[in-house]
Amino acid sequence: MSSINRRSKRPFRLALLTGGGDCPGLNAVIRAAARSAFALGWEVFGIEDGFEGLLTKRAHQLEPRDVRGILHLGGTILGTSNRVSPFRVERRGKNGAKMKDADRSSEVVRNFKSMGFDALIAIGGDGTLSIALRLSAKGIPVVGVPKTIDNDIEQTSVTFGFDTAVATATDAIDKLHPTAEAHGRVMVVELMGRNAGFIALNSGVAGGADVILIPEIPFNLDRVCEKIKEREKGRRGGYFSIVVVAEGARSMGGTVHLRSNDEGETPRLGGIGQWVAEEIGKRTGKETRSLVLGHLQRGGAPTTFDRLLGTRFGAAAVRAVAEGDFETMVALKPPSIERVPLKVAVGDGRTKRVPLDSDVVLSARGLGISFGD
Ligand code: F6P
């Protein structure tokens, strides 16, 4: 590991960027990175709205006062965007018709250099980090920080934002219990997570769900209904059940439910919860209700765990920059924060999925929770 070697007399200029969907803990990373950089005498710049800010040269210098009082705040003070990749910028003709996407990555690299930045800390999920990796190959010195409520990034045992999302989802499941019980209903709650079932699995187990449906285990609705009927046995009156469904779950032989497919590579998932509720209603005759927890899972103040992890990631990313250890990603390998090559974390486009032999899955099965398989 070499430390940064500079000839320039002006202070080192660190740029920070948050990309992709927001998630609780982003401001903790920004604060920790900025404060660590200030302590080294560096200047810190916040690029606005993710890669959009690098395309349009929108960035502002961050002063210590800008990162005061933000540790506990959700969202990101820099703004973010999950629609712009400099490698595929959407273009429209005069009549509004879609034209071939443009690769404007070289322009982004030029902008980065002309703005006088020396290094970039890119805080984002697999999409943002993959773009950062490609920009690094084009000459931008990058250190990545893994963020996502979905917890689907390889090489880190957990991402910040996940713990907060699970806490919010668990709280929602707790609140569904009394109303489900009072009416003897089946309540189906759809949770986020994209193609990974971590949020549904962890909050489902922590919230005492009866059925948990995750993308990693295609389900059979007959098995789900068997579980619901089994809970009725020997009880007078209707008995309630709580079903947690990850937005990316699908039935055996079925496909994922999409809310919209108009956003290119990242179609928006959604609708599986309502479908499962309707099918359970038809097949069991039970009264069912469904809800989608949606973006509430991305909101609110980060939990203590996420504030601490975000702070550790932000500070560790600055240490990596200071040592000139670029094209890396900081990662939690308990109990330490380590650096892994960005290429290893996101290079092959693979995301992390729930291991079917994980102790949470085995414990859930042991407790009689149904995965519908
Ligand atoms: O990746 C985070 C996430 O919240 C996913 O869980 C979800 O599928 C997606 O983003 C929603 O994206 P958007 O905010 O664009 O609707």
Of all protein residues, whose CA lies closest to atom 11 belonging to ligand 1?
A: 268
Q: In sequence order, what are the beta bridge partners of 205?
A: none
Concatenating the DSSP letter of every residue in 285-297 gives ---EEEEE-GGGG
Q: Could you report the per-residue pLDDT of 321-335, keeping only the tens digit for each?
A: 999 999 999 999 999
Q: Give ∠ CA 208-209-213 in degrees, rounded to 5.
A: 145
What lies within 8 Å, CB to CB, of 7 at 6+ separation is none
Task: Please tell me the predicted confidence (pLDDT) of residue 305.
Answer: 98
Of all protein residues, whose CA lies closest to atom 10 belonging to ligand 1?
A: 21
Residue 348 appears among annotated catalytic residues: no
User: Ligand 1, closest atom to CA 268?
Assistant: 8
Largest distance between two CA atoms of the chain: 80
Residue 373 has pLDDT above 90, yes or no: yes
Residue 265 has pLDDT above 70, yes or no: no
Note the pTM of the prediction, 2 decimals.
0.95
Task: Please tell me the predicted confidence (pLDDT) of residue 90.
Answer: 86
User: Ligand 1, closest atom to CA 20?
Assistant: 1
Give the C-alpha separation, 315 to 195, whole Å. Answer: 30
Ligand 1 close to Cβ of residue 150 (< 6 A): yes
Residue to probe by mutation, ligand 1, list 194, 261, 262, most atoms within 8 Å of CB: 194
Indicate which residue of 118, 126, 150, 210 is catalytic.
150
Tokens 């922590």, located at residue: 206
The answer to whether 263 and 21 are in contact (CB under 8 A) is: no
Distances (CA, A) of 174 to 223, 249, 255, 295: 24, 22, 29, 18
Ligand 1 close to Cβ of residue 43 (< 6 A): no
DSSP 247: T
Q: What is the mean pLDDT of residues 294-318?
A: 98
Instruction: Look up residue 50 and give its two tokens.
Output: 């993710």
Residue 71 has pLDDT above 90, yes or no: yes
Residue 21 has pLDDT above 90, yes or no: yes
Three-class SS state of 340: strand
> 84 falls in which pLDDT band (50, 70, 90)?
confident
- Closest by CA to 80, choosing from 117, 136, 122, is 122
CA of 233 to the centre of ligand 1 (A): 39
Ligand 1 close to Cβ of residue 193 (< 6 A): yes
Tokens 């609110």, located at residue: 300
Residue 252 has pLDDT above 90, yes or no: yes
Give the C-alpha separation, 250 to 264, whole Å. Answer: 21
Give the C-alpha separation, 304 to 164, whole Å. Answer: 9
Q: What is the mean pLDDT of residues 274-295?
A: 97
What lies within 8 Å, CB to CB, of 182 at 6+ separation is none
Residue to probe by mutation, ligand 1, list 80, 128, 150, most atoms within 8 Å of CB: 150
Helical (H) or strand (E) element with 189:
strand 186-191
Q: Give ∠ CA 299-305-311 in degrees, rounded to 5.
A: 90
Give the C-alpha separation, 228 to 233, whole Å. Answer: 9
